[in-house]
Structure 1
């Protein structure tokens, strides 16, 4: 139960905590880190779609 509350303390939305922490360490704002995550997911989805068998 303690682990769940710890996870909940650090998790503040749709952005994974590790990604948000890495962005914050590099001086990226919270809004920009969310945008960068969206761009990353979109690019990964596109690459996966291109590599998928037809």
Structure 2
């Protein structure tokens, strides 16, 4: 099962994910922001790099 939590900044998505994680044994939380933090370092020398990671194309 995948539970995708989406919404605007500061509306409690992380708190909800933490609560679900505690309630569902064996669950995993995958935070896309951690991926976004990795992109600038990984793609720094790429010819189409952008400064703001949300602007990277899928």
**TM-score strictly above 0.5:** no
TM-score, structure 1 as length reference: 0.28
The structure with higher relative contact order (CA 8 Å, sep 6+) is: 1
TM-score, structure 2 as length reference: 0.27
